[in-house]
Chain A
Amino acid sequence: MRNKKIKNYLFFLFVLLVTCHLSLVTLSSAHAAIEIKKEVLENGLTLLGVERHNLPIVMVTVGIKAGAVVEPEGKAGLANLTAEILTEGTKKRTANEISEEIEFIGASLDTSGGDDYIVISLSILKKDLKAGIDILSDIILNPSFSQDEINKKKKQIKGSLRGREEDPGFIASREFRKAVFGTHPYGRMTEGSPETIDIIGQADLLGFHSNYYTPNNAVISIVGDITMGEAKGLLKNYFSGWQKKETKKPLLDKPKQIDKKTVITVNKDITQANIMLGHLGISRDNPDYYDVMVMNYILGGGGFSSRLMQNIRDEKGLAYDVHSFFDARKEAGSFYVGLQTKNESAQTAIEEALKEINRIRSVEVSDTEVNNAKAFLKGSFPMKIETSRKIANFILAVESYGLGLDYISRYPAYIDSVTKESVLRAAKKYLAPERLILVVVAKEGKASLNELK
Chain B
Amino acid sequence: MVLLLMPFSGYGQTVKEETLPNGLKVIALEDVSSPLSIFQVWYHGGSVNEQVGKTGLSHLLEHMMFKGTPRYGAKAFSKIIQSAGGIDNAGTSKDYVFYFQKLAPDRLNLSIELEADRMQNLILDPKETLLERDVVMEERRMRYEDDPQNLLYEEVVATAFKNHPYRWPTIGWMSDVSAITRDELYNYYKKYYSPNNAFIIVIGDIDRGSILSRIKDEFGRIPRGAEIKPIAVAEPEQRGEKRVFVRKEAELPYLLAAYKAPNILDDDSSALEVLAGILSGGKSSRIYKSLVSEKQLALSAGAEYDGLQKYPFLFYLYAQALPGKSIEEIEKSLYEEIEKVKTAPPSEREVQKVKNQIEAAFIMGQDSIYLQAQMLGIFEIIGDWRLKDRYLEGIRKVTPQDVQRAAKKYLIEDRRTVGILIPMKAGSEK
Contact = CB atoms under 8 A, between A and B. Distances in A.
A314 B361 contact: no
Contacts of B91: 10-13
A395 B68 CA distance: 39
Contacts of B92: 10-11
Interface residues of B, number: 99
A2 B302 contact: yes
A52 B75 CA distance: 39
A17 interface: yes
B170 A103 contact: no
Interface in A257-274: 267-272
Interface stretch (B131-139, B194-202, B234-242, B384-392): B131-139
B79 A304 contact: yes
Contacts of A167: 147
A319 B87 contact: no
Contacts of A409: none
B145 A271 contact: yes
Contacts of A163: 251-252, 299, 320
A5 B318 contact: yes
Nearest to A339: B138
Nearest to B367: A387
Contacts of A6: 153, 256, 304, 306, 316, 318
Contact of B252 (A95, A159, A303): A159
A331 to B, nearest CB: 30
Contact of A12 (B86, B89, B102, B429): B89
Contact of A8 (B62, B94, B142): B94
B79 A372 contact: yes
Contacts of A11: 59, 62, 91-93, 139, 170-171
A100 B349 CA distance: 10
A382 B36 contact: yes
Interface stretch (A54-62, A177-185, A355-363, A432-440): A54-62
B104 A152 contact: no
Interface string B1-16: 0100000000100000
Contacts of A305: 78-79, 82-83
B300 to A, nearest CB: 6
A168 interface: yes
Q: How many of chain A's residues touch chain B, expressed as a range?
A: 35 or more
Contacts, number: 257
A301 to B, nearest CB: 11
A137 interface: no
A272 B141 contact: yes
Nearest to A378: B85
A340 B139 CA distance: 9
Contacts of A152: 293, 296
A340 B137 CA distance: 11
Nearest to A375: B83
B232 interface: no
Instruction: Determine which residue in B90, B92, B251 has the highest number of CB atoms from chain A within 10 A of its CB, and name it.
Output: B251
Contacts of B300: 1, 3
Contacts of A168: 146
Q: Which of B83, B171, B322 has the most CB of A within 10 A?
A: B83
Interface string B69-108: 0000001011100111111011111100000001110000
A54 B292 CA distance: 38
A3 B304 contact: yes
B323 A159 contact: yes
A83 interface: no
When A and B form their complex, which 4 residue pairs have the shortest distance between CB atoms, in order from nearest?
Answer: A379-B85, A106-B360, A317-B134, A54-B33
20 contacts: A6-B153, A7-B304, A13-B91, A55-B11, A55-B364, A107-B360, A108-B282, A123-B364, A155-B322, A156-B299, A162-B252, A166-B147, A270-B146, A272-B146, A302-B82, A304-B66, A304-B79, A372-B79, A375-B84, A380-B86
